[in-house]
């Protein structure tokens, strides 16, 4: 089946608003093996829209229109599609009554303009809108099915789930494409590729994609077919990729984040964390606290940007700063154990580096970052691990990757501790 998407709205032709509805619709078409032939953005013009809809209805079997179903004069989709297809618009009093009831439920009277939303194309099926006033419509003309959806993404989503998805599923005979995602932090793309090599041979090279951004890699495995066999194959791919990539995989779902995973590990361990940040200026703390419920394990931290505050807030000895400089292993270590002890947490993490663009030297070029992680205070010795890295990229990238690596060090450490604890308990 071939399809076209038409996004309606003059605002989408400007520089302020992006047409995201077509991306959402494309995901769905893709999943159901429908070939998208054309995507258009049309302003609020009856003539332009009618011409576009007429042209597409002759070329493809499925036309998806979003936007322009509102009550105001610039909402012209009803009129334009009627004109394009040579159909009458029929007034449905029951649709208007429904809209009136919706307004009444908010204690308001329906404005007179909303009566326009009571017009449906002759022969169209109405799609009820549980999230707004504009009903959607489905109409079939000469071998082409057209869906008219509201432009508001949340209202569109409701109708996708209630009508478009089932419609596509019925026509594709249950055949669909689906993907699973595995995420990996702080491992170079080439190394990931090498590790998962065997999976390419087992499942086919085109079924697995590596998407890399600094500090994070997404492995996307895709399978096509009927639900049962598709799910089975996806599960097999997911398991095999997880096995090959090993503990580098921090998430097996699109929604999971590294900071979320670290938070969950801290929560399960019943452990608390504090952070001393220099070149990241609080970015690590920001990411950790972006997770709801992070107060269960994150006590807080200190942005110790100056040498003086590294000493006053987290107790870095001035001699250490004088001898090695702020961007150094001894200072990173002292910051990590210092913030832990000063603020009273189980773990302390620190970041100090040269984020650039200035401030680099031959010995400490831009991108040089020291990260340290202090574990729970032990009798006699103190257990602080440290990594020195040189990140590529600009200031923003260096800072982001620094926070990313600190989180990844935490994750690995907490995994190891959890593993040791469960071995110790004999389970
Ligand atoms: P409309 O249904 O044309 O009244 O659109 C209502 C609102 O939905 C617009 O003001 C936009 O904010 C949003 N919207 C419309 N079309 C799109 C689109 N293609 N992508 C994302 N948002 C949209
Ligand atoms: Mg509009």
Q: How far is the CA of 71 from the centre of ligand 1 (A)?
A: 13
Phi and psi (nearest 5°) for 55? -65, -45
Structure tokens of 274? 């504090």
For ligand 1, is residue 334 a contact (CB within 6 Å)? no
CA dihedral 332, 245, 191, 417 (to 10 degrees): 20
* Three-state secondary structure string covering the chain: CEEEEEEECHHHHCCCCCCCHHHHHHHHHHHCCCEEEEEEEECCCHHHHHHHHHHHHHHCCEEEEECCCCCCCCCCHHHHHHHHHCCCEEECHHHHHHHHHHHHHCCCCCCHHHHHHHEEECCCEEECCCCCCCCEEEEEECCEEEEEECCCHHHHHHHHHHHHHHHHHHHCCCCEEEEEEEEEECCCHHHHHHHHHHHHHHHCHHHEEEEEECCEEEEEEEEEECHHHHHHHHHHHHHHHHHHHHHHEEECCCCCCHHHHHHHHHHHHCCCEEEEECCCCCHHHHHHHCCCCHHHCEEEEEECCCHHHHHHHHCCCHHHHHHHCCCCHHHHHHHHHHHHHHHCCCEEEEEEECCCCCCCCCCCCCCEEEEEEECCCCCCCCCEEEEEEECCCCHHHHHHHHHHHHHHHHHHHHHHHHHHHHHHCCC
For ligand 1, is residue 150 a contact (CB within 6 Å)? yes
Ligand nearest to the CA of 66: 1
For ligand 1, is residue 367 a contact (CB within 6 Å)? no
Task: Name which of 13, 132, 108, 4 is nearest 56 in CA terms.
Answer: 4
| Minimum-distance ligand 1 atom for the alpha carbon of 41 | 19
CB atoms within 10 A of CB 133: 21
Q: What is this structure's pTM? A: 0.75
CA angle, corner 18, sides to 207 and 167, nearest 5? 55
Integer distance in angstroms from the first to the last C-alpha of the chain?
54
CA–CA distance, 239 with 224 (Å, rounded to integer): 17
CA–CA distance, 132 with 256 (Å, rounded to integer): 31
Q: If you take atom 16 of ligand 1, which residue's CA is the nearest one? A: 151
Q: How far is the CA of 68 from the centre of ligand 2 (A)?
A: 4
Structure tokens of 120? 């449906």
CA–CA distance, 335 with 196 (Å, rounded to integer): 37
- Report the pLDDT value the prediction gives residue 22, as an integer from 0 to 100: 98
Report helix angle 329-343 to 307-314, nearest 10. Answer: 40
Ligand nearest to the CA of 148: 1
CA–CA distance, 85 with 294 (Å, rounded to integer): 55
For ligand 1, is residue 68 a contact (CB within 6 Å)? yes
CA–CA distance, 242 with 51 (Å, rounded to integer): 50
Q: How far is the CA of 152 from the centre of ligand 1 (A)?
A: 5
- Report the pLDDT value the prediction gives residue 425, as an integer from 0 to 100: 66
For ligand 1, is residue 9 a contact (CB within 6 Å)? yes
For ligand 1, is residue 72 a contact (CB within 6 Å)? no
CA–CA distance, 273 with 268 (Å, rounded to integer): 13
Ligand nearest to the CA of 19: 1
Q: If you take atom 5 of ligand 1, which residue's CA is the nearest one? A: 151
- Report the pLDDT value the prediction gives residue 186, as an integer from 0 to 100: 94
Q: How far is the CA of 27 from the centre of ligand 2 (A)?
A: 22
CA–CA distance, 218 with 249 (Å, rounded to integer): 9
Report helix angle 227-245 to 189-203, nearest 10. Answer: 140
Best of 22, 39, 67, 147 for a ligand 1 pocket test (most atoms within 8 Å of beta carbon): 67
Best of 21, 46, 152 for a ligand 1 pocket test (most atoms within 8 Å of beta carbon): 152
pLDDT tens-place string over residues 230-273: 999 999 999 999 999 999 999 999 899 999 999 999 999 999 99
Phi and psi (nearest 5°) for 72? -90, 170
Task: Name which of 60, 95, 63 is nearest 81 in CA terms.
Answer: 63
For ligand 1, is residue 42 a contact (CB within 6 Å)? no
- Report the pLDDT value the prediction gives residue 263, as an integer from 0 to 100: 98
For ligand 1, is residue 7 a contact (CB within 6 Å)? yes
CA–CA distance, 303 with 309 (Å, rounded to integer): 8
pLDDT tens across the length of the chain (427 residues) = 999 999 999 999 999 999 999 999 999 998 898 989 999 999 999 999 999 999 999 999 999 999 999 999 999 999 999 999 999 999 999 999 999 999 999 999 999 999 999 999 999 999 999 899 999 999 999 999 999 999 999 999 999 999 999 999 899 877 888 899 999 999 999 999 999 999 999 999 999 999 999 899 999 999 988 889 999 999 999 999 999 999 999 999 989 999 999 999 999 999 999 999 999 999 999 999 999 999 999 999 999 999 999 999 999 999 999 999 999 999 999 999 999 999 999 999 999 999 999 999 999 999 999 999 999 987 777 889 999 999 999 999 999 999 999 999 999 999 999 888 887 665 4
* Three-state secondary structure string covering 293-332: CHHHCEEEEEECCCHHHHHHHHCCCHHHHHHHCCCCHHHH
| Minimum-distance ligand 1 atom for the alpha carbon of 20 | 20
């Amino acid at each position: 089946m071939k399809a076209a998407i038409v996004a309606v709205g003059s605002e989408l032709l400007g520089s302020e608003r992006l047409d995201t509805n077509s991306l959402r619709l494309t995901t769905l078409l893709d999943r159901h093996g429908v070939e998208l032939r054309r995507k258009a953005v049309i302003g609020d013009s009856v003539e332009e829209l009618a011409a576009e809809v007429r042209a597409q209805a002759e070329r493809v079997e499925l036309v998806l229109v979003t936007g322009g179903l509102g009550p105001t004069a610039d909402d012209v989709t009803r009129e334009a599609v009627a004109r394009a297809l040579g159909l009458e618009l029929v007034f449905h009093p029951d649709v208007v009554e429904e809209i009136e009831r919706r307004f009444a439920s908010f204690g308001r009277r329906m404005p007179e303009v909303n009566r326009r939303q009571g017009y449906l194309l002759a022969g169209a099926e109405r799609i009820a809108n549980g999230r707004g006033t504009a009903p959607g419509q489905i109409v079939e003309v000469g071998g082409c099915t057209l869906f008219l959806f509201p432009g508001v993404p949340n209202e569109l989503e409701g109708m996708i789930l209630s009508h478009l998805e089932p419609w596509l599923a019925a026509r594709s005979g249950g055949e669909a494409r689906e993907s699973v995602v595995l995420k990996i932090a702080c491992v170079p793309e080439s190394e990931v590729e090498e590790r998962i090599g065997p999976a390419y041979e087992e499942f086919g090279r085109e079924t697995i994609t590596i998407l890399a951004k600094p500090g994070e890699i997404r492995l996307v495995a895709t399978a096509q077919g009927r639900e049962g066999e598709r799910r089975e194959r996806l599960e097999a791919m997911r398991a095999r990729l997880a096995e090959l990539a090993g503990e580098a995989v921090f998430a097996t779902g699109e929604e999971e984040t590294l900071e979320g995973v670290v938070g969950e590990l801290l929560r399960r361990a019943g452990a608390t964390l504090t952070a001393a940040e220099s070149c990241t200026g609080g970015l690590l703390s920001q990411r950790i606290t972006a997770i709801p419920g992070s107060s269960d394990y994150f006590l807080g931290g200190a942005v110790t940007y100056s040498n003086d505050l590294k000493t006053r807030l987290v107790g870095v000895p001035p001699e250490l700063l004088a001898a090695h400089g702020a961007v150094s292993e001894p200072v990173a270590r002292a910051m990590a154990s210092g913030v832990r002890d000063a603020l009273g947490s189980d773990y302390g993490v620190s970041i100090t580096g040269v984020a650039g663009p200035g401030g680099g030297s031959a010995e400490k070029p831009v991108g040089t970052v020291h990260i340290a992680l202090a574990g729970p205070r032990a009798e006699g010795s103190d257990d602080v691990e440290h990594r020195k890295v040189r990140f590529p990229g600009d200031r923003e990238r260096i800072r982001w990757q620094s926070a990313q690596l600190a989180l990844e060090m935490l994750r690995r450490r907490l995994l190891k501790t959890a593993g040791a604890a469960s071995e110790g308990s004999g389970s």
